[in-house]
Amino acid sequence: MFSVFSFVGFTLLVAVIAYLATRKTNEKTSDGYFLGGRSLTAGVIAGSLLLTNLSTEQIVGLNGSAYKDGLSVMAWETLAAIAMVVTAIFLLPRYLKGGLTTVPQFLADRFDVSTKTITSGLFLTGYVVVLLPVILYSGSVAISGMFDVPSLLGVSDKTALVICIWGIGIIGSIYAVFGGLKAVAVSDSINAIGLMIGGVLIPVFGLMAIGDGSVFGGLETLMNAQPERFDSTGNHGQEVPFTTIFTGMMLVQLFYWGTNQQIIQRALGAKNLAEGQKGLLLASFLKILGPVILVLPGMIAYYYFEGGLASSDLAYPELVKEVLPPALVGFFAAVLFGAILSSFNSVLNSSVTLFGIDIYKQHINPEASEPTVVKYGKVFGVCLALGAMFIAPMIANAGSLFNYLQEINGIYNIPILTIIVVGYLTKRVPAIAAKVAIFLGSGLYILSQFIIKPNLVNSALEEAKAAGITDEAALKLVEADAYPHFLHVMALLFLLNAGIMLLIGALKPRETDYVQAYTEQVDIQPYKHVKAVGIAICLVVIAIYVAFAK
């Protein structure tokens, strides 16, 4: 019962603080509602960035990957720091100079309106079909299991899951749809503190459990027992081959942290460029510590359970159940609940922004006043949330979707990244080049990963079995060798798409050079130490890889 009270108490505390912080914000204007009145400071931006990124499918999924492959999966976390540095130095100054509310707005100015609309449609499709239902489902499974909701309410597992889905969905919708970005960002920054505390407690108690009460003793035991699993470069056949960090991994990170509306919207709401840059740099530094929360527990679980769990996705919840003192369960559940809400309401708020600014205002009602745009954006958000709540229970196994989500997102993330990068780095590439890159990039990726790859992999596995190979590890290597890793495929398509855009630009350039205008929405004087701090962060990441390389 104490855990329930602590859960409710912490959750209500976050809600009250978010209300007090946002009650004076004018949310009848686009800037007020979608960008928090362009008033966000570095701490709020950093906290919101981290919480937007973290949710149950990542906390559970990435620790599950670490349970299987060890430290090498930290690339999903550590390389994000470098991507955020690049965003702070190169992309954010251009975004704020143009006074952007959405990333696709730049594409309308650089190319044309139809390019912006296509890109907004791709973002919305990815958010609605994939992200929102998965976040709701995986989060509900975690909360239902942690509080044993079926026994608590005397209902079936399926009914308990639906109750949790609708509970999370309704609360998340209140934050995102009726509170706007500032409510989302403030609640995120508070939950970020809780997540850092709660997230660190799991590996601490886990190391104490295997180290006879000593954290450092547990770490020494873990490293001595499994030194090969602490190799930052990994081994052949692992989920994140070391070579991918030089190809598609960095491109995925640059898309996610630099061009993904769900993420970058926090920095777009900065009160000035310096605050936005400091927020990104602070978040990037904290991201380096991410493996402590998202990788180390999975490695501890592998040692603790002697690699005997039925599924790698059970690694994190089973470790929490075993090592966390009962008195802290409610607090940790509240923190996890905050992470779930953060991802859900952040995606929802970004979807509302994209619809209101890029679709409703642009195509449905160009003469609409700002309060009208906000009003219909909220209506769209409510419909979107309801749709996600109905779809979420249909997802059979959210835990297995973690790696698949990384792959399927390539349908839209690399084409969008390509046209934004080429758009900023060139002045004469025309709009037709951007459209060709979007459709060709998406089409070739679908052809590669969902038609050609399955056929080749299945053929290779059948040949291996026919040759008498039945060992699971050997079959895993055969599967890895049968087709290039999807991150390598992304890198190849990025180069191909960029090359095609440049070729079209050379053959049929636009009539005039593109010149970005300064809208004077916010001060764009950069943080004076941005480059020095950014270089230091990149060197720390490199040092970590060198230190753990075997």
The CATH fold of domain 33-406+521-548: Sodium/glucose cotransporter (1.20.1730)
pLDDT of 399? 45
DSSP conformational letter for 175 = I
Instruction: Show contacts of 480-486: CB within 8 Å, 24+ apart.
Output: 480/236, 480/237, 480/241, 482/456, 482/457, 483/452, 483/453, 483/456, 483/457, 485/241, 485/244, 485/248, 486/248, 486/406, 486/407, 486/410, 486/449
pLDDT of 318? 81
Start-to-end C-alpha separation, the chain: 48
pLDDT of 179? 53
Q: Rounded to an integer, what distance in angstroms lies between the CA atom of residue 119 and that of residue 107?
A: 8
Spatial CA neighbour of 264 closest among 117, 49, 108, 419: 49
Q: Rounded to an integer, what distance in angstroms lies between the CA atom of residue 242 and that of residue 157?
A: 40
pLDDT of 539? 96
Q: What are phi and psi of 156, to 5 degrees?
A: -75, 165
pLDDT of 510? 92
pLDDT of 33? 47
pLDDT of 9? 66
pLDDT of 382? 81
Residue 491 CA from chain centroid, whole number: 19
Report, as ranges of residue numbers, the positions in the chain whose pLDDT lies below 50. Answer: 26-36, 180-181, 398-399
pLDDT of 317? 78
Q: Do 140 and 398 meet the contact criterion of CB atoms below 8 Å apart? A: no
Q: What Å distances lie between residue 491 and 78, 247, 495, CA to CA?
A: 19, 5, 6
User: What is the identity of the amino acid at 343?
Assistant: S
